[in-house]
Structure 1
């Protein structure tokens, strides 16, 4: 396989990184443990792995060599890997009165899924999920903050 064919998946990786970066930027603004760069890397890596699996399946070099790739197994591997990273962002608050980082871990899983979606070639769906994720991260957080503020007798926003 020539190098030009290898570069064919690069636009998908870049697109996934841009989508992951949009979500990561919101996390960065909140000064959360996993921010802009982390989210970009997770989404881009997921897209790369899925694009690579597609590329290997189409490569004549591996034809007849008994190579069998199940893209869904690769999805499972990505999810397992991101679960490990996500677990590192979750920790108990001092005094044992709560847990922090669950939303960041969930956003890492979301960007991995977005990267997987791009890797499979579903660009519009990946963009739609990115926009929905940003909606959840911003608008619903604002609604929760207003609700919590009203319950306490003033305006305020909860910590995520």
Structure 2
């Protein structure tokens, strides 16, 4: 390969990984700008190594025809290993928190960036650029559409109370009236002034029709909670 081809492909890999990674970075995801750039560059290098190996094999065979029955190059072998290996990296970005799964979109974006990087390394510029636009469109614009037209929105609410039974009973009744679903929860206990204060963070799916401020007022007006806030 010419050095100019190598530089162009690496620069394009940096740009593609940076564009997609920046969106993940802005959303404070575990795999952000640098991770996506490294994955894309790594996949690009893998493709170029495969091409260089092929060129080397062709040169050897041209000077030593008897090697044609010995040397064989599979252009898909290294690429297949990248796709499989990136699956493990993507799995590391998926977090399971008591019934709530996070990181699936980031895992998918890492896998997509690796695939695009393979295309860049092979020299498929148009395919790689169009694919990058498509992935970025899904991450940015489809997220806005999903938030606008989805049946509900995911939110977290933090509650502190002294009487767990009464507080949670009232809280669940409010949720039932508003048709709000609980996706997961995390609870803890602390002591203040010889009092046991319990707190819980609830992960909820709130219907679009529910007014968040009105919901907050309804919970506060029950006077069963020490502190109530959306986080």
Aligned to 1:28: 25
Residue ranges of structure 1 left out of the alignment (5+ in a row) = none
Structure 1's 104 and 61: CA in aligned 2 closer, same or farther, altered over 3 A? same
Aligned to 2:47: 50
Aligned to 1:115: 117
Q: What is the root-mean-square deviation of aligned Cα atoms in Å? A: 2.2
Deviations 1:51-77 (A, max 9, x none): 111112112664438332212111110
Provide the rounded CA distance (Å) in 2 between the counterparts of 1:135 and 1:154.
29
Residue ranges of structure 2 left out of the alignment (5+ in a row) = 62-66, 154-205, 213-231
> Which segment is superposed worse, 78-87 or 4-13?
4-13
Q: TM-score, normalised by structure 1?
A: 0.84
Provide the rounded CA distance (Å) in 2 between the counterparts of 1:61 and 1:123.
26
Aligned to 2:184: none
Equivalent residue in structure 2 for 1:124, among 126, 138, 155: 126
After the TM superposition, which residues 11-90 of structure 1 pair with which residues of structure 2 at under 5 Å, given as runs? 11-59=8-56, 62-63=60-61, 64=67, 66-90=70-94
Higher relative contact order (CA 8 A, sep 6+): 1
Q: TM-score, normalised by structure 2?
A: 0.60
Report the structure, 1 or 2, having the larger strand content. Answer: 2
- Please say if 1:153 is aligned against 2:209: yes
- TM-superposed CA distance for 1:151, in Å, is 3.6
Determine if contact 1:20/1:114 at 8 Å carries over to the other structure.
no
Name the SS of the counterpart of 2:71 in structure 1: coil
Structure 1's 62 and 89: CA in aligned 2 closer, same or farther, altered over 3 A? farther
Q: How many residues align?
A: 151
Determine if contact 1:24/1:35 at 8 Å carries over to the other structure.
yes
Provide the rounded CA distance (Å) in 2 between the counterparts of 1:20 and 1:155.
39
Equivalent residue in structure 1 for 2:142, among 140, 143, 153: 140
Determine if contact 1:145/1:155 at 8 Å carries over to the other structure.
no
Deviations 1:103-152 (A, max 9, x none): 10000001001101111111011111101101100111001111235942
Report the structure, 1 or 2, having the larger helix content. Answer: 1
